[in-house]
Amino acid sequence: MMAGRYGAGLAVLFAGFLLGGADWAAAQQTPTAPAAPQPKRARPAPPPKAPSVTPAQPGAAAAEQKPAAPAAAPAPAAAPAEVKETVQADVSTRSVAITSSFTGTEIVIFGAIDNSRQASAESGLYDIVIVLEGTPSRLVSRRKSNVGGIWINTQSVTFESVPSYYAIASTRPLDELADPILLRDTDIGFEQVRMTPIRGWETGLSTADLAEFKSAVIRLKQKEGLYVKEEYGVAFIGRSLFRASIELPANVPVGPLVARVHLLREGQLLSTYTARVTLERQGLERLLHNFAFDQPLLYGLFTVAVAVGAGLLASTMFRRAAH
């Protein structure tokens, strides 16, 4: 009976195994329906990569975390440069004709101050000094002494580069305009006239004696009217315009004249302007001058002949008058 039970159980198990195996085989062999195509989804963008951090040396992190230095403050704008005053000038005539009838002339020097700060002509902010110099020449100064009751030349000094004509015109006296050093550096004033001794001073003359010779030259030139000083000869006719007139005597040496116009303020030299005037011989005066210097021998014979002819003519006329 037990054997019958075991046999029935085994039969049931065997039948179940056969049924399950058939289902499994059918499941493996039955083709499945193709799945419906699914719509493609957009690929999501990859997340941004974190910046790579390079390991820094010790102390680098502290340097990177240090706050940036503040920007330098802009440099202050440079102050505008101060405009300097300058003087512009000219002369009334650039050429003066010297003839046999020449009796002198007047030279007018006028000008203006650029960038003038003078409120009016009477304010006196600026000073003008005009120096008119003639051609430098050589001059001999002699000293006479009483020797045995007779006055004779005992000493002489030869100077070079002595201006043949020298005139000064200014708005005020020179000693009120500037110090003597500035006057000496700019050759303004009779005491500053260039006189270079080239002969005679080596005979043992002292500095005082040499100064006396120079003073004698200036004194004689003033007596001849060739050295002139006009302390108030320059006048302002506006806040920047000025003018001056200088007389040229009849005996002024022929040649170029140089006019130097100096602008001063509070004793300081601001600007200098130079103009030129030419004295030229004209007419018979020029002809005789050129003849004398170009043909000296013929000129000497000619003058002798003229003198002899004039003497004979005068003798004939007086002889006839006596009869």
Task: Identify the CATH number of the domain in which residue 246 sits.
Answer: 2.60.40.10
Q: Look at residue 78 and tell me if it is in a domain.
A: no
Q: Look at residue 116 and tell me if it is in a domain.
A: yes
What is residue 144's predicted lDDT score, i.e. its pLDDT? 83
Q: State yes or no: pLDDT of 110 exceeds 70.
A: yes
pLDDT band at 67 (very low <50, low <70, confident <90, very high): low
Q: Look at residue 53 and tell me if it is in a domain.
A: no
How many residues does the structure list for the chain?
323
By mean pLDDT, which of 103-107, 141-145, 201-205, 277-281 is the weakest?
201-205
Q: State yes or no: pLDDT of 35 exceeds 90.
A: no
28 token code pair: 């493996």
**Average pLDDT along the chain:** 78
Q: State yes or no: pLDDT of 31 exceeds 50.
A: no
CA angle 90, 93, 98 (to 5 degrees): 145
By mean pLDDT, which of 37-51, 78-92, 242-256 is the weakest?
37-51
Q: How far apart are CA 195 and CA 212, in angstroms?
A: 12
Average pLDDT over residues 264-292: 86
What is residue 199's predicted lDDT score, i.e. its pLDDT? 80
Burial 125-145 (b: 16+ CB within 10 A, else e): ebbbbbbbbbebeebebeeee
Q: Total structural domains in the chain?
A: 1
203 token code pair: 């005979």
Q: Look at residue 133 and tell me if it is in a domain.
A: yes
Cβ atoms of residues 98 and 248 within 8 Å: no
Q: How far apart are CA 130 and CA 180, in angstroms?
A: 17
Q: State yes or no: pLDDT of 122 exceeds 70.
A: yes
Q: Look at residue 17 and tell me if it is in a domain.
A: no
pLDDT tens digits, one per residue of 259-273: 999 999 998 999 999
Q: Look at residue 2 and tell me if it is in a domain.
A: no
pLDDT above 90 covers a percentage of the chain that reads 33
Q: What is the pTM of this model?
A: 0.66
**What domain range is 233 assigned to?**
86-302
What is residue 78's predicted lDDT score, i.e. its pLDDT? 55
Q: Look at residue 266 and tell me if it is in a domain.
A: yes
Q: State yes or no: pLDDT of 20 exceeds 50.
A: no
The sheet carrying 105-114 orders its strands as 86-91, 105-114, 241-248, 234-236
pLDDT tens digits, one per residue of 143-177: 888 888 888 888 888 898 899 999 999 999 998 88
Average pLDDT over residues 95-104: 87
